[in-house]
Amino acid sequence: MLDQLSISQDVRDFFMSVVIVGAGHAASQIVSSLRVSDYSGAITIIGNEPYIPYQRPPLSKQVLAGEMLLEDVYLKAPEFYDVAKADLVLDSHVESIDRDQRTVTLSGGDLIAYEHLVLATGARPREITLPGSALDGIFYLRTIEDTNRIRNYFRPGAKLVIIGGGYIGLEVAAVAAKAGLKVTVLEMAERVMNRVVAPIISQFYQDIHSKHGVDIRTNVTISHLEDNGNGHVGAVICGNDESVEADFVVVGIGGIPNTELAAVAGLAVDNGIIVDEYARTDDPTIFAVGDCTNHPNGIYQRRIRLESVQNASDQATAAANTICGKPEPYCAVPWFWSDQYDIKLQIAGLSQGYEQTVLRGDPKSAVFSVIYLKDGVLLAVDAVNNPRDFIQAKKLVAARVRPDPAVIADISIKLKDLF
Amino acid sequence: MAKITYIQPDKSEIAVDVRNGFSVKDGAVNNLVPGILAECGGSCICATCHVYVAPEWVDEIDSAEDNEIEMLEEADNVKDNSRLSCQIFVNDDLDGLVVHIPAS
């Protein structure tokens, strides 16, 4: 197949094709969106993992818990790629893009020609660079193989130290605590999930984790990771010299966009590959979608980079529409979710820069929402076990409503009645 | 295995075979049936896989759990026969099931 695609420039000019670098949520969605729009050209997905596109959110939830296997989290069944006539080039790494020749080069030297190229390269975990960070037994979580490696350490009583109290760290903590591990979470800030939620939600989650026996320590800096004598981590040493014993360590301190391929090809990069609202880079034949992009958000009127399923899916559809000649600007309310124990957190919108929060409901009931406002405009809603508010919130954020704080605090009033 | 028929707002139909254990959502996304986005992947988070179950089939399907009911209460264009298709799991008894996709 690769040989057939390595064809001369003259022929290639008439060869409709989309080549997608990356095999995650965005790649899977582009295939669907192109074919539903009757795109008739060739589609090739190049992925660096040996698997067909699969869902990442369950990796820190059901897959880690052993409740789901790889085949349970495939985004599409294997036969979908036959139905959709999409070629999968898996376990392959793209070395470079030749923008003049419109080819990508795989690490084995094979060339794949494109008419349109879509970079869906995702993000990778930010790594710690402290002394001892190369010891065995220190893990990050992005791929199913990461999850399997972590799960291999799961046994009741095993000591797990998690560095970072964000979504990944806390979801891993919840699964591990339920499996009987002794879990400690070390967070540098004064509260968990500090970059994404209000203090009242951080407190709610810290209480829930404490109830399940997780030791959450905030305002903690890490000095180094200590060798147990066999080249394997044995303890995490904090800045105050406190030692926390560890049979293994999971690090969840954020992600870094995979932009190197784009940057080397001369595309504009600044905390993500720069794209417009049609997912176009500054090369009209190259698009970028998902976690790896820095894109304009029409609702917040600023450039953002998101690591989320929603963004991967919606931006992929925007790219496909542009490729199919029916461009529609991408302008969506970002949304996110996190499952910890039996608590479902659903977030609509981006709360960064908020000036005021309004509590709706009682955290003691474990069903409540927090509404974020700036200049009177509703920016975002965090819904805890409150799917009704979440579904309504997406529409309110899109409409940029200016609610009366006293009214939205009243749970007898439905959010949709604010319209 | 069950044959599931998806009917679009313009009345066009696609019928596909769906394996037991897969959801009605899976049958749609695996066969390029438009209109069922299922952005969350089937976790009952996003309500983007809303369908109307043909009236004669409503009682044949396991009833919705609280979380799905709460999501549906607030979704657009909801009717008595609305369901989230990621929460309808296929078995042999659902052979012939018909669902309608809402106009978005």
Q: At what angle do helices A25-36 and A309-323 cross, to 10 degrees?
A: 40
Show which of A251, A278, A299 is a domain's final residue: A251
Q: Does B39 touch chain A (CB under 8 A)?
A: yes
Q: Are residues A156 and A201 in the same domain?
A: yes
| C-alpha pair distances (Å), A284 with each of A117, A200, A323, B14 | 10, 46, 10, 35
Contact A335 B46 (CB under 8 A): yes
Q: Where are the domains of chain B?
A: 2-100
Whether the predicted pLDDT of B60 surpasses 50: yes
Contact A391 B41 (CB under 8 A): no
| Residues A93-149 pLDDT 10s | 999 999 999 999 999 999 999 999 999 999 999 999 999 999 999 999 999 999 999
Most B CBs within 10 A among A60, A82, A309, hence the mutation to make, goes to A309
Query: Per the domain annotation, does A131 fall within a domain?
Result: no
Show which of A191, A226, A251 is a domain's final residue: A251
Contact B70 A79 (CB under 8 A): no
Q: Are residues A245 and A162 in the same domain?
A: yes
Q: Are residues A13 and A117 in the same domain?
A: yes
**What does the mean pLDDT of chain A come to?**
95
Contact B41 A55 (CB under 8 A): yes
Whether the predicted pLDDT of B59 surpasses 50: yes
Query: Per the domain annotation, does A380 fall within a domain?
Result: yes
Which distant-in-sequence residues (6+ apart) come within 8 Å of A205 by Cβ?
Answer: A170, A192, A193, A340, A343
A178 DSSP 8-state letter: H
* A383: its two tokens: 């819904």
| C-alpha pair distances (Å), A186 with each of A163, A217, A238 | 5, 5, 9
> How confident is the model at residue A298, as a pLDDT?
95
| Residues A118-130 pLDDT 10s | 999 999 999 999 9
The domain defined by B2-100 carries CATH number 1.10.10.10: no
| Residues A367-410 pLDDT 10s | 999 999 999 999 999 999 999 999 999 999 999 999 999 999 99
Closest to A375 measured CA to CA, from A349, A333, A405: A405
Q: Are residues A157 and A303 in the same domain?
A: no
* CB atoms inside a 10 Å sphere around CB A231: 10
Q: Are residues A217 and A147 in the same domain?
A: yes
Domain with A374, as residue range(s), is: 342-418
Most B CBs within 10 A among A43, A328, A390, hence the mutation to make, goes to A390
Closest to A178 measured CA to CA, from A65, A69, A67: A65
Query: Per the domain annotation, does A375 fall within a domain?
Result: yes
Of A1-5, A174-178, A381-385, B89-93, the least confident:
A1-5
Whether the predicted pLDDT of A9 surpasses 60: no
> How confident is the model at residue A10, as a pLDDT?
46
Angle at B39 between CA B34 and CA B41, to 5 degrees: 105
* CB atoms inside a 10 Å sphere around CB A237: 17
| Residues A230-280 pLDDT 10s | 999 999 999 999 999 999 999 999 999 999 999 999 999 999 999 999 999
Q: How many CA atoms lie within 13 A of B58 on its CB side?
A: 11
Which DSSP string corresponds to A218-254? -S--EEEEEE-SSSBEEEEEETTS-EEE-SEEEE---
> How confident is the model at residue B104, as a pLDDT?
74
Distance in Å, alpha carbon of A146 to nearest chain B alpha carbon: 20
Show which of A229, A251, A273 is a domain's final residue: A251
Number of domains within chain A = 3
* A30: its two tokens: 């582009």
Confidence of residue A5 (pLDDT cuts 50, 70, 90): very low
Buried b or exposed e, range A152-161, using 16+ CB within 10 angstroms:
ebbeeebbbb
Q: Does B29 touch chain A (CB under 8 A)?
A: yes
* CB atoms inside a 10 Å sphere around CB B90: 22
> How confident is the model at residue A255, as a pLDDT?
97
Query: Per the domain annotation, does A108 fall within a domain?
Result: yes
| Residues A215-241 pLDDT 10s | 999 999 999 999 999 999 999 999 999
The span from the CA of A84 to the CA of A95, in Å, is 27
Query: Per the domain annotation, does A129 fall within a domain?
Result: no
Query: Per the domain annotation, does A332 fall within a domain?
Result: no
Contact B67 A309 (CB under 8 A): no
Contact A391 B71 (CB under 8 A): yes
Q: Is pLDDT larger for residue A415 or for residue A158? A: A158
| Residues A335-357 pLDDT 10s | 999 999 999 999 999 999 999 99
CATH of the domain at A117: 3.50.50.60
The pTM of this model reads 0.94
| C-alpha pair distances (Å), A356 with each of A27, A81, A374, B53 | 38, 47, 7, 42
Q: Are residues A114 and A18 in the same domain?
A: yes
> How confident is the model at residue A227, as a pLDDT?
98
Most A CBs within 10 A among B74, B77, B78, B101, hence the mutation to make, goes to B74
Distance in Å, alpha carbon of A351 to nearest chain B alpha carbon: 19
> How confident is the model at residue A1, as a pLDDT?
44
Whether the predicted pLDDT of A3 surpasses 50: no
Nearest to A75 among B22, B41, B47 (CB): B41
Whether the predicted pLDDT of A14 surpasses 70: no
The span from the CA of B63 to the CA of A152, in Å, is 37
Confidence of residue A27 (pLDDT cuts 50, 70, 90): very high
Of A3-12, A69-78, A297-306, B55-64, the least confident:
A3-12
Confidence of residue A7 (pLDDT cuts 50, 70, 90): very low
Closest to A392 measured CA to CA, from B17, B74, B51, B103: B74
Q: Are residues A161 and A228 in the same domain?
A: yes
Q: Are residues A104 and A166 in the same domain?
A: no
Confidence of residue A20 (pLDDT cuts 50, 70, 90): very high
Q: Is pLDDT larger for residue A9 or for residue A27? A: A27
User: What is the mean predicted confidence (pLDDT) over A303-311?
Assistant: 97
Q: Does B46 touch chain A (CB under 8 A)?
A: yes
